[in-house]
Amino acid sequence: MDTEGADDLHDFKSLRIMPLEEEDDAEERNDEADTEEVDEEDEEEEEAISVTLGFVEKPKSPRFLLRELFPCKAGGVPAWLDPVDLPSGQASLCDICKEPLQFLLQVYAPLFEKASTFHRTLFVFMCSSMSCLLQDQHEQWKRKSEKPNRSVKVFRSQMHRSNTFYSSEPPMCDGSDKPTISGAALCSWCGTWKGEKVCGNCRSARYCSEKHQVLHWLLGHKSDCSRIKVSSSSSSAPNKTQSNFSASCRVACNTLWPEFEIVNEEESSHDADEPEAGNSATSLLSKGHVDETMNSLMDKFEGSDDRKSWASFQERIGKAPQQVLRYCRDLKAKPLWPMSSGRPSKVDIPTCKYCSGPLSFEFQVLPQLLYYFGVRNDPDSLDWATIAVWTCAASCEGSVRYKEEFVWVQLSSLSTI
Ligand SMILES: [Zn+2]
Ligand SMILES: [Zn+2]
Ligand SMILES: [Zn+2]
Ligand SMILES: [Zn+2]
């Protein structure tokens, strides 16, 4: 373990997705792993790897989800870790329909083994169109020689403790925390991506894309534009405290997914015989509602292998049915697949685009999140069985501020492809 065991460092660590107490265990386990032979049929062994579960909660205040507090969050807009050098151009678009991607969730997952990953956040975006996701299914099997057109993308951002954006002291979380510099201006419509284009008339509204400029114009800005023009010419430039307000307040579109905080609990704390006992206080929904969602997924499965796989998936998930995220950055960790079909094999997982090193599985998102997002259960609605994310095992550095990592989506029914 590290030697700089100052109290304030501990405060930082308490924000991370894996609690401090787990770290010693995880490291020891990795050491052991080197001497053990790699065994594919290690289901029982897998049980022993500690998994952190993520649950969604309505934030007590939108303030808690601001970037200076390094949140784990789902829905709404991203709390960009590096607020300046955001992914832009093609990276921010669905490669299939070319619409800007929608923010799904972000996980604050610093790694204390390296100075450059003192802060580290992973961001998941996806196109909300199910037909794009169905095409994405074919793209994800492509080897790296062909460039896959993805409708789901994951970015990794990381930085040193001492950086230009945040205090090197842990946040107080009492409303006094402020980022040291304001971020790039964001799109007035989606609030997600960089607002690189400016409305030629009011010179105030900004857009990530022409598509969002047109939407904003048709759905409100047309009438606001000249009014803004008058008021902005009589007042000074936007003041620096702007970033202290909830970013969501400045977003014009109403199609973002609802915003939640993701809170973490160890899966082992749900091992009790009574599955609901552990998280009834923090859950938003009764277990019955979630079971309904899960049962409707079950109806779609066909093969007996998938039913068997689904049964063991459901048994494991049943310990804490409201979980939306399973996190485990352990070299031996593997995703918990709902189905046996549509899983990648080792050769389907590429190497890191930036350092060519191996990727390792880090977390997966569960379909319960769609329920919390209020996504309908219609045939053409967005739906998936799980989204699994692999990241550079070395969490490499380099000049690209947001590095694209590898994501695999397993759909709940292969028959719809
Ligand atoms: Zn799309
Ligand atoms: Zn936009
Ligand atoms: Zn305008
Ligand atoms: Zn790498």
Mind spelling out the 3-state secondary structure of the chain? CCCCCCHHHHHHHCCCCCCHHHHHHHHHHHHHHHHCCCCCCCHHHHHHCCCEEEEEECCCCHHHHCHHHCCCEECCCCCCCCCCCCCCHHHHECCCCCCECEEEEEEECCCCCCHHHCEEEEEEEECCCHHHHHHHHHHCCCCCCCCCCCCEEEEEEEECCCCCCCCCCCCCCCCCCCCCCCCCCECCCCCCCECCEECCCCCCCEECCHHHHHHHHHHHHHHHHHHHHHHHHHCCCCCHHHHHCCHHHHCCCCCCCCCEEEEEEEHHHHCCCCCCCCCCCCCCCCHHHHHHHHHHHHCCCCCHHHHHHHHHHHHHHCCCCCCCEEECCCCCCCCCCCCCCCCCCHHHCCCCCCCCCCEEEEEEECCHHHHHCCCCCCCCCCCCCEEEEEEECCCCCCCCCCEEEEEEEECCCHHHC
Distance from the alpha carbon of residue 174 to the mean position of ligand 2, in angstroms: 31
Virtual torsion, Cα 158, 384, 94, 250, nearest 10 deg = -70
Ligand nearest to the CA of 351: 4
Distance from the alpha carbon of residue 402 to the mean position of ligand 1, in angstroms: 21
Distance from the alpha carbon of residue 226 to the mean position of ligand 3, in angstroms: 7
Contact 17, 107 (CB under 8 A): yes
Distance from the alpha carbon of residue 107 to the mean position of ligand 2, in angstroms: 22
pLDDT, position 137: 92
Distance from the alpha carbon of residue 196 to the mean position of ligand 2, in angstroms: 10
Distance from the alpha carbon of residue 207 to the mean position of ligand 2, in angstroms: 5
Distance from the alpha carbon of residue 138 to the mean position of ligand 1, in angstroms: 14
Ligand nearest to the CA of 392: 4
pLDDT, position 282: 41
Distance from the alpha carbon of residue 209 to the mean position of ligand 1, in angstroms: 14
Phi, psi dihedral angles at 120 (to 5 degrees): -155, 125
Distance from the alpha carbon of residue 198 to the mean position of ligand 4, in angstroms: 35
Contact 151, 404 (CB under 8 A): no
Distance from the alpha carbon of residue 90 to the mean position of ligand 4, in angstroms: 21
Ligand nearest to the CA of 125: 1
Mean pLDDT for back-to-back runs of 10 residues, the chain (417 residues): 42 46 42 42 59 95 92 97 96 97 98 95 97 94 80 98 95 88 95 96 95 95 85 50 45 94 94 52 48 63 78 93 96 92 91 96 97 90 95 96 97 60
pLDDT, position 261: 97
213-259 per-position pLDDT tens digit: 999 999 989 998 988 776 655 544 444 334 334 444 579 999 999 99
Ligand nearest to the CA of 200: 3
Distance from the alpha carbon of residue 250 to the mean position of ligand 2, in angstroms: 12
52-70 per-position pLDDT tens digit: 999 999 998 888 999 999 9
Distance from the alpha carbon of residue 241 to the mean position of ligand 1, in angstroms: 35
18-61 per-position pLDDT tens digit: 433 434 444 444 444 444 444 444 444 555 789 999 999 999 88
